[in-house]
């Protein structure tokens, strides 16, 4: 358990799967975990930008999701990210949204 | 020398409409000597349970859950029954079973049952989901699929479909039912059961959720190549369930894929009945298999080798009420950066 936040154990979300034979995961060692977290923050921010939000690493254990107006929420992993983003932003975060897709296409030139 | 016990006991779900032959299939499977070390959990809807009497082997590893439909009323009882079986196995009170088969009522939605095994804090350390086997009655299937939404969902989430009563149905009807099943779920293997020809070992093999079995299921279930698909809307049965299969030429960034799929399932998880695929993940030599049912995604499997020379990522989505082309376009766009996707082929199947 984390003495600071009281979170029991680690995440068992599929994107952070526990290492065991046959399972693909980036959750292999401290360096790989940190690398993946940095990459995840960058990749998520590319999408969250559209919703005027941003994500940052928090102590290597969680993430801080923030809106442009200063509202923040701590999220453990990707399973909680999008529901938290919808709650903070007050609107759906839909990857099938035509406007979002068009915006990402424009970003990629 | 006896084969060592697996670290995780596979849980195999057998479901299908009322009268579709679930118990008959289970009877036949349990007669196989190789499957003797199988625990069975039967759920019946109604006050008097009969199915367990129809099965010949009655012992402590056969449990009847009788207080209602498994998916909506007795998930706690299911969890408790599996834990009880596990505890008895650990104490040596019941024979050491290698697999657990759950036969659900014909009314059951498979997802809550799968979720119970997947998410229960105790069960997930001892059990792993195995294949979902769905029995479809070749004589009555067309009417059942028209009238019972649960039956369509059962087919949609199946890993393996067993077409039963094929000895009673006309050949044309069997072909029609098989075609409809293929349209609903092109990723499931389809076996025709004319009594003696069901390969029990293959049917109950761990399949997609087990790293050791990944090559086997991908060889059988690999999404069809796009150029083999028929295009256009073939939704002639009026179902709003559609399947889309597409491929991506370039390697996928794993992190971006995770962000995209979690975002999709957060918003549309109830409508994504099934996702299944093999991915060419940037930075890895061998493919990664992903497999999910609605909000539930299994730990990704790192396969030992590609099943063939094709190195493209291949995905199948079975969705209800969503535009399949929007899913494909969305993933392609998300994948544009940092690993920009090149040209790729696509196809759509409508159920």
How far apart CA A94 and CA A100 sit, in angstroms, is 8
How far apart CA B48 and CA B334 sit, in angstroms, is 53
| pLDDT at site B71 | 47
How many domains does one find in chain A?
1
How far apart CA B16 and CA B142 sit, in angstroms, is 14
Instruction: Give contacts of A99 with chain B, Cβ < 8 Å.
Output: none
Nearest CB neighbour to B300, from listed A23, A101, A107: A23
| pLDDT at site B195 | 52
* B289 compared with B348, residue with greater pLDDT: B289
For residue A4, tell me if it sits in a domain. no
Residue A66 structural domain: 14-107
| pLDDT at site A72 | 95
**Average pLDDT, stretch B15-34?**
83
Do residues A95 and B330 touch, judged by C-beta distance below 8 A? yes
Nearest CB neighbour to A82, from listed B210, B263, B334: B263
With the C-alpha atoms ordered B306, B307, B310, B313, is the resulting torsion angle positive or negative? negative
Please, which residues 225-264 of chain B have a Cβ atom closer than 8 Å to chain A?
A: 253-256, 258-260, 262-264
Strand partners, B15: B134
CA distance A70 to chain B (A): 23
Topology of domain B9-205 in CATH is: Rossmann fold (3.40.50)
For residue A29, tell me if it sits in a domain. yes
Predicted model pTM: 0.75
Ranges of beta strands (E only) in chain A are 53-58, 62-67, 72-75
Is residue A63 pLDDT above 80, yes or no? Answer: yes
Q: Is the minimum CB–CB distance between B317 and chain A shorter than 8 Å?
A: no
Q: Regarding the domain with residue range B226-350, which homologous superfamily does it belong to in the CATH classification?
A: CobW-like, C-terminal domain (3.30.1220.10)
What length is written for chain B? 351
For residue A1, tell me if it sits in a domain. no
For residue A24, tell me if it sits in a domain. yes
Domain spans of chain B?
Answer: 9-205, 226-350
Lowest mean pLDDT among A26-40, B16-30, B31-45: B31-45
How far apart CA B332 and CA B327 sit, in angstroms, is 9
pLDDT per residue as tens digits for the range B118-162: 878 888 888 888 889 999 998 888 888 888 778 888 898 888 999
DSSP secondary-structure letter at B2?
Answer: P
What rounded mean pLDDT belongs to chain B? 76
How far apart CA B3 and CA A95 sit, in angstroms, is 47
SS3 B219: helix
For residue A9, tell me if it sits in a domain. no
Is residue B196 pLDDT above 60, yes or no? Answer: no
Q: Do B334 and A26 touch (CB under 8 A)?
A: no
How far apart CA B234 and CA B180 sit, in angstroms, is 11
Is residue B69 pLDDT above 80, yes or no? Answer: no
Q: Do A82 and B284 touch (CB under 8 A)?
A: no
Give the distance from CA A38 to its chain's centroid: 10
Is residue A46 pLDDT above 60, yes or no? Answer: yes
Closest CA to B14 of B112, B160, B192: B160
For residue A31, tell me if it sits in a domain. yes
Strand partners, B133: B14, B160
Ranges of beta strands (E only) in B181-239 are 189-192
> Can you say whether residue B283 is alpha, beta or left, with left for phi > 0 and alpha for psi between -120 and 50 degrees?
left
| pLDDT at site B299 | 86
pLDDT per residue as tens digits for the range B241-271: 788 888 899 999 999 999 999 999 999 998 9
Cβ within 8 Å of residue B310, ≥6 positions away: B225
Is residue A50 pLDDT above 90, yes or no? Answer: yes
């Amino acid at each position: 358990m984390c003495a600071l936040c009281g979170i029991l154990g680690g995440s068992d979300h599929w994107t952070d799967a526990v290492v065991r034979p046959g399972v693909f995961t980036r959750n292999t060692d401290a360096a790989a975990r940190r690398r993946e977290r940095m990459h995840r923050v960058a990749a998520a921010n590319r999408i969250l930008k559209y919703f005027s939000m941003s994500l940052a690493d928090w102590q290597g254990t969680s993430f801080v999701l923030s809106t442009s107006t200063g509202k923040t929420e701590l999220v453990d992993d990707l399973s909680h990210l999008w529901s938290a983003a919808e709650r903070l932003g007050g609107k759906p975060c839909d990857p099938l949204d035509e406007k979002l897709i068009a915006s990402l296409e424009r970003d990629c030139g | 020398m006896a084969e060592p016990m697996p670290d995780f006991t596979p849980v195999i779900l057998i479901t299908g409409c009322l009268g579709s032959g679930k118990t008959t299939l289970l009877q036949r499977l349990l007669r196989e000597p190789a499957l003797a070390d199988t625990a069975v959990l039967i759920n019946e809807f109604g006050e008097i349970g009969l199915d367990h009497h129809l099965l010949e082997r009655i012992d402590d590893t056969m449990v009847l859950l009788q207080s209602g439909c498994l998916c909506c009323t007795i998930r706690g009882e299911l969890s408790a029954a599996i834990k009880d079986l596990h505890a008895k196995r650990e104490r040596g009170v019941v024979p050491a079973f290698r697999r657990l088969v759950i036969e659900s009522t014909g009314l059951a939605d498979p997802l809550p049952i799968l979720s119970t095994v997947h998410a229960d804090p105790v069960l997930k350390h001892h059990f792993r989901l195995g294949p979902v086997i769905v029995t479809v009655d070749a004589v009555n299937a067309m009417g059942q699929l028209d009238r019972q939404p649960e039956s369509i969902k059962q087919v949609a989430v199946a890993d393996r479909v067993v077409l039963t009563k094929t000895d009673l149905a006309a050949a044309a009807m069997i072909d029609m039912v098989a075609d409809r099943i293929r349209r609903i779920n092109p990723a499931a293997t389809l076996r025709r059961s004319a009594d003696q020809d069901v390969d029990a070992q293959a049917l109950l093999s761990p399949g997609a959720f087990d790293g050791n079995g990944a090559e086997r299921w991908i060889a059988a279930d690999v999404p069809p190549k796009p150029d083999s698909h028929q295009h256009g809307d073939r939704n002639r049965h009026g179902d709003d369930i559609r399947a889309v299969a597409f491929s991506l030429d370039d390697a996928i960034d794993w992190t971006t894929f995770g962000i995209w799929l979690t975002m999709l399932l957060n918003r549309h998880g109830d409508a994504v009945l099934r996702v299944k695929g093999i991915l060419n993940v940037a930075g890895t030599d061998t493919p990664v298999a992903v497999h999910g049912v609605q909000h539930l995604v299994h730990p990704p499997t790192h396969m030992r080798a590609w099943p063939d020379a094709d190195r493209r990522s291949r995905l199948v989505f079975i969705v209800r009420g969503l535009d399949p082309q929007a899913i494909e376009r969305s993933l392609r766009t998300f994948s544009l950066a940092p690993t920009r996707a090149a040209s790729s082929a696509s196809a759509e199947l409508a159920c």
